[in-house]
Chains A and B, each alone.
Chain A
Amino acid sequence: MALGFLPKPLRELPWLMLICVIAIAGFSLLVLYSAAGGDMRYAKPQGIRFLIFFALALALARLRPETLKQATFPAYVVVLLLLIIVEALGFVGGGAQRWVDLGPINLQPSELMKPVVVLACAHFYSLLPAREIRGWSALWPPAVLIGIPAALVLIQPDLGTASMIAFGGLTIMFLAGVPLRLFAGGIAFLAVALPVAFSFLHDYQRQRVFIFLDPESDPLGTGYHITQSKIAIGSGGLGGVGFLNGTQSHGGYLPEPHTDFVFATMAEEWGLIGGILLILAFALILRWGMRVATDARDRFSRLAAAGLTTTIFFYVAINLLMVMGLAPVVGIPLPLFSYGGSAMMTVMICLGLLMAIERQNRRDSRRG
């Protein structure tokens, strides 16, 4: 690339990925401005948050993967403790609790747990001797690492985040080479166990599953979310109804028009073109992430990079499947795009760590 005029640290940044990130965040600000009815009330804090987390990502990019590796288990323990504290506070307070109030920010430990569980599993498998991969010792420690936080989050109750934590850990297990027959067996087991698990779900969660299966059955109740989301996306057509012209988001028909369903808000005004561009931008980021993983030399970096990329992927995929009516309504925002800091923070941490690994890759490749 013709970036020779830039100083080396800048030149070596993964510019395509960063441009995609900035483009998504910038687009988000436009959509949030419109969602507020032509007002900066969402866009301004979102922009400030983005700058802060962008800086955080660039700072994380300076980390060496080796340092990171050493920090994973302590980090895991700290986040797990926070999760337990939140749980205890919630129990005392008598209600669902997902935050720790740390003065200026409300920290959601379950958010942090998503990348941390991935890193912890990656660390574990990097320590595991290759011949042990076909044995119990390759299974139970990650099962514990994943199971405890997933269970804690599930009883918060937050089905969406719990499944993302589980998916993130399972992805690492898959990439680490755990025998495929175990995954096949696991899927078969789930097929049997799901009806049982279903009976443990909260009423509102169960309701959402039912409604997901048949949203039209309850167009004004829980199915309202999905129906209205599809209406907003569908009415946008190819080019959308135009910036600031969205009637469904402005009229209040679309629920959560600036958070979980912001994609529908965008789709109404920008149409299929806006949607495809957004999906493309995310796809480029993910492709870059997977390339960082395959380029990495050591096992930890490989697993961590692939796992962090997949964490971002799960955010985007679950949210978009949800707003398009292909997944039940679980409260997963569209990272970088939805109003709110938690998901943005997680994704920026993932991207920062990915950049750190990428830097190491570059050093390794120069060395030979």
Chain B
Amino acid sequence: MRKLLFGGGPPVTESGQAQSFSRRAFVLGALQSGVAVLLAGRMGYIAIAQNERYRGLAESNRVQTRLIPPRRGWIVDRHGRPLAINRYDVRVDLIPDFIEDKDRLIAELTRLLGLRPEEVQRIRSELERDQGFQPVPVAEHLSEQQYYALKVHEPDLPGVSVLEGYARSYPTGAAVGHLIGYVGTPNRREYEAENRNPLLITPGIKVGKEGLEKVMEQRLRGRPGAARVEVTARGRLVRQLTTLPQVSGAPLRTTIDAGLQDFAARRLGEESGSCVVLDCNNGDILALASMPAYDPNSFSDGISHSEWAMMREDERHPLINKALNALYPPGSTFKPAVAMALMEAGVDPDETVGCSGGYTLGSRRFGCLGVHGPMNLHRAIAKSCNTYFYTMARRIGIERFSAMARRLGLGQRYDMPVVSQSYGTIPDPAWKQRRYRQDWTQADTLNAAIGQGYVILNPLQLAVMAARVASGRDVQPRLVLERNPPARPLPFAAASFEAVRAGMAEVVNGNGTAGASRLPLDGIQMAGKTGTAQVRNIGADRGRAGAAWRYRDHGLFVFFAPVVQPRYAGAVVIEHGLGGARAAAPVACDVITYLFDRAKAMERLAPLEAQWGGTLAERMARRTAAWVNRPQGAPPPANPVDPA
């Protein structure tokens, strides 16, 4: 064993040991030299043979290509007035990967920028569910003072990115809220939907979230620029190398008349409702206002939780575009379509129906609003006599007037750049069979004839109907201003249009339901049709003034002007406004007045706004403040002026 381990041979002497040492020391020295040669060779291999490769890697370490967000294209009205623009802005973001001490950083930012507790809360929660791929916005619209304060501290605050750029701004504020939409920081879904487009995780980039901003995103976006920059491993900029400039998005010219849009929004005042105005010859949408609305400026800045909660809880639904996405029974505003059907079905417009205050079908009584006596088509429209329309509509049958309603644009979906449109129902027997597996009844026909029952429509459709009746053309509503051929004429007799238009002119200017809303203008008259839509059918005083706001009837009005050679058509819907003549027609009257005589319209608006407590912007600011400072658990603030 011992021999196996230690070997045999003569015993080792001291001189033998010295020799062995010399040999082994030589081996050791040779080994060391070998390692030195190996190291030199290895270094030569890395530094010379692979120099190109590692230089490339060093370069890609050091040089980063940063995208420069393109400036979004402006959105302008038909006259080139701005609806959505960009303004210079300084913003602060946090890059989660580079943050060293989160708490210290947030404390420091809170001190420098004066962040409110709820903002700090938001930043913290966004950092916690750090998606790693995206900067967390801290603040926008920095003042010059804040900007310099941050710039000075930036080197000690790793993870903070201070960027100069451009932010979206909407000069007319809430008036264009639903129409234009707003922009916001892209979320994960949007990022992935674009195949992880790196532009969408660039600090400061905003994409359209609603309205035209969303639908026209690709057109408005433009082409990003790129900057080659030298950066440190912690992302700090060392120097700028080269820059490829961004290409701004093309401006989008809409059909909107900014002045009219703003006026319509303001004129709707404290009401919950919408106002649509079209050029009745080519379908250009001049105004598409829905109130109450959100201010797209505050949405684009990243709306606070409390503002969002206020809007979500508001029973007047400021988040819904009521011109497109709210559906109402049209009530009597449906009658022009039925009247068109009667004319085309060969009903003699001079044939009279005696109105004794209602119509009896079997054992059921269908009421009229009054006892009108003998009614022909003209007077029936002017007086909105249900009895006439029950009788005549039943004569021609549901199929014929539902077909006419569709031909006039009701219940239709339009080819428009909007995020969504609800298109409602124009019922007929086949539809009822499909939907309810029930047969159509005569009672259904009578209800449909006065725009109740299964008929539900959105305000834009009513405006299109008015436009088609007014112009006799197959106009399609348009939001983007383009050179279009004029709409083709509808295949109906001129006499039919004339009869219906005359009836609608009588509504406002003669012995009709909306006599109080005559235009205050010389030589220009408006034609229209009022409507009142039942919200609830309870008891005798259903939906009347005494009922709670949300049970009151909707007020509707469709209109065109001037009566001779109409140019404009539209619809106004005031939710729970009690009646079309009372709530909706006066709005239409002022809006049309604005188109012909701005000064006069503004003159009429001023006392109203004084009564409501200031301009739209002032009232919204006050309401938001009240909400933020409300006692905990209190309901949303009531509107200061009750329309009743």
Q: Which of B25, B40, B55, B231 lies in contact with A251, CB distance below 8 A?
A: B231
- Closest residue to A131 on the B side, CB-wise? B11
CB-contacts of B543-584 with A (<8 A): none
CB 8 Å contact bits of B41-67 with A (1 = contact, 0 = none): 011101110110111011101100000
Assembly CA distance A324 to B6 (angstroms)? 39
Is there contact, CB below 8 Å, between A130 and B233? no
A223 within 8 A of B: no
Is there contact, CB below 8 Å, between B47 and A177? no
CB-contacts of A316-352 with B (<8 A): 317, 320-321, 324-326
CB 8 Å contact bits of B181-194 with A (1 = contact, 0 = none): 00000000000000
Is there contact, CB below 8 Å, between B50 and A234? yes
Interfacial chain A residues near B305, Cβ < 8 Å: none
Is there contact, CB below 8 Å, between A135 and B28? no
Is there contact, CB below 8 Å, between B230 and A234? no
Is there contact, CB below 8 Å, between A177 and B21? yes
Interfacial chain B residues near A142, Cβ < 8 Å: none
The smallest beta-carbon distance between B28 and chain A, in angstroms, is 7
Assembly CA distance A181 to B230 (angstroms)? 58
Known: A182-B6, A230-B46, A286-B32. A235 touches B231 (CB 8 A): no
A310 within 8 A of B: yes
Assembly CA distance A287 to B24 (angstroms)? 15
CB 8 Å contact bits of A257-271 with B (1 = contact, 0 = none): 000000000011001
Is there contact, CB below 8 Å, between A237 and B47? yes
- Closest residue to B14 on the A side, CB-wise? A130
Known: A134-B6, A272-B48. A234 touches B55 (CB 8 A): yes
CB-contacts of A28-73 with B (<8 A): none
Is there contact, CB below 8 Å, between A234 and B53? yes
- Closest residue to A219 on the B side, CB-wise? B57
CB-contacts of A165-184 with B (<8 A): 171, 174-177, 179, 181-182
Assembly CA distance A182 to B5 (angstroms)? 7
- Closest residue to A290 on the B side, CB-wise? B29
Is there contact, CB below 8 Å, between B58 and A231? yes
Known: A238-B47, A320-B39. A251 touches B57 (CB 8 A): no
Q: Which of A237, A250, A275, A321 lies in contact with B232, CB distance below 8 A?
A: A250
Interfacial chain A residues near B483, Cβ < 8 Å: none
The smallest beta-carbon distance between B42 and chain A, in angstroms, is 5
- The dominant DSSP class at the A interface is helix
The smallest beta-carbon distance between A111 and chain B, in angstroms, is 21
Interfacial chain A residues near B232, Cβ < 8 Å: 250-253
Interfacial chain B residues near A179, Cβ < 8 Å: 5-7
The smallest beta-carbon distance between A143 and chain B, in angstroms, is 14
- Closest residue to B43 on the A side, CB-wise? A275
Interfacial chain B residues near A237, Cβ < 8 Å: 47-48, 51, 55
Interfacial chain A residues near B238, Cβ < 8 Å: 251
A115 within 8 A of B: no
Is there contact, CB below 8 Å, between B12 and A247? no
Assembly CA distance A248 to B63 (angstroms)? 11
Known: A174-B24, A235-B54, A313-B32. A253 touches B61 (CB 8 A): yes
Is there contact, CB below 8 Å, between A324 and B46? yes
B36 within 8 A of A: yes
Known: A131-B11, A306-B28, A313-B32. A247 touches B2 (CB 8 A): no
Interfacial chain B residues near A251, Cβ < 8 Å: 61-62, 230-233, 238
Q: Which of B14, B24, B43, B55 lies in contact with A235, CB distance below 8 A?
A: B55
Q: Which of B5, B18, B47 lies in contact with A233, CB distance below 8 A?
A: B47
Interfacial chain B residues near A131, Cβ < 8 Å: 11-13
Assembly CA distance A138 to B53 (angstroms)? 52
Interfacial chain B residues near A299, Cβ < 8 Å: 14, 17-18, 21
B234 within 8 A of A: yes
Specify which of B12, B35, B43, B234 lies most central, judged by the most chain A CB atoms within 10 Å of its CB.
Answer: B43
A133 within 8 A of B: yes
Assembly CA distance A129 to B269 (angstroms)? 112
- Closest residue to B62 on the A side, CB-wise? A247
* 28 residue pairs bridging A and B, Cβ less than 8 Å apart: A131-B13, A133-B12, A134-B6, A134-B12, A175-B25, A176-B17, A177-B24, A179-B6, A182-B6, A185-B5, A232-B58, A233-B43, A234-B54, A234-B58, A235-B54, A247-B62, A248-B58, A248-B61, A253-B58, A253-B233, A267-B47, A268-B58, A279-B36, A283-B32, A283-B36, A299-B17, A313-B35, A321-B39
Assembly CA distance A224 to B429 (angstroms)? 73
Known: A134-B12, A253-B61. A234 touches B46 (CB 8 A): yes
Is there contact, CB below 8 Å, between A279 and B54? no
Is there contact, CB below 8 Å, between A294 and B36? no
B356 within 8 A of A: no
The smallest beta-carbon distance between A364 and chain B, in angstroms, is 14
The smallest beta-carbon distance between A163 and chain B, in angstroms, is 15
